[in-house]
Amino acid sequence: MSMKLIMENFRTFINEEADRAMQEVPQHLYHAVSSDQLDNLRDNGIINLPTELEFEEDKGGVPCALDPMTAQKHGDVVLEIDGEQLAGAGQYTINPAGENGVRVGMTDSASMSGHGVHDMVDKLGTNIPFQFVRKMIFGGDNLPNVRKLRDGGFGGVEIATFGRTPEEDVQTMWAPPEPEEQK
């Protein structure tokens, strides 16, 4: 068996494994941030640059929770990410992390070019563009200025707040019009 054939079969195996993992993608992923980071995230995306220790422990990627209440413990604004659209982009891997979380990492788009996977790809980090964010949920005591957010470039994202108690549902303060409604 030639080395080329071995490498082609190995790449097929890797792609099959990635496809299998992507079939179990949650519909929504939740990532918490500080409200003062929103403008930067809108412009640059959600970025995770792993430290050397995280890289060695295979903890690279953007940490996300599977429910908004778990994510809320890590910031005053929870971003709801469209997990299915993220998986459909074909540029991300979603791997379990802990009991109620996942880590979203980027794939090496050059892996099929014959150059192989380079360690530098993992060290460059992960970037999830803000276009994958569907909702921003603010803490119950942190009421957002909806008009300021809409005028500031967040008009395409649903804006909501957590209830004041865990039993209360998330309250929508702004929902962008559906595409057919905009005509």
Query: Which residue type is seen at 152?
Result: G
Q: Range of 80's domain?
A: 3-182
SS3 percent helix, strand, coil of the chain, rounded to 5, is: 40, 25, 35
Whole-angstrom distance, CA of residue 123 vs CA of residue 61: 10
Number of folded domains that form the chain: 1
Is the model's pLDDT at 27 over the cut of 50?
yes
Q: How confident is the model at residue 179 (pLDDT cuts 50, 70, 90)?
A: confident
pLDDT exceeding 90 applies to what percent of the chain?
51
pLDDT of residue 80: 98
- Calculate mean pLDDT across residues 154-176: 91
pLDDT of residue 13: 47
- For residues 144 and 21, which has the higher predicted lDDT (pLDDT)? 144
- Calculate mean pLDDT across residues 69-98: 93
pLDDT of residue 171: 92
Judge if pTM exceeds 0.85.
no
CA 123 to chain CA mean position, Å: 18
Is the model's pLDDT at 75 over the cut of 90?
yes
Q: What is the mean pLDDT of the chain?
A: 81
Give how far Cα 176 sits from Cα of 31, 124, 139, 155, 157, Å. 21, 34, 20, 6, 6
- Calculate mean pLDDT across residues 9-34: 66
Instruction: Please choose, from the candidates 68, 94, 97, 81, the residue with its C-alpha nearest in 3D space to the C-alpha of residue 27.
Output: 81
Q: Which two tokens stand for residue 161?
A: 């707040």
Whole-angstrom distance, CA of residue 123 vs CA of residue 111: 15
Helices (DSSP H) in 90-141: which residue ranges?
119-123
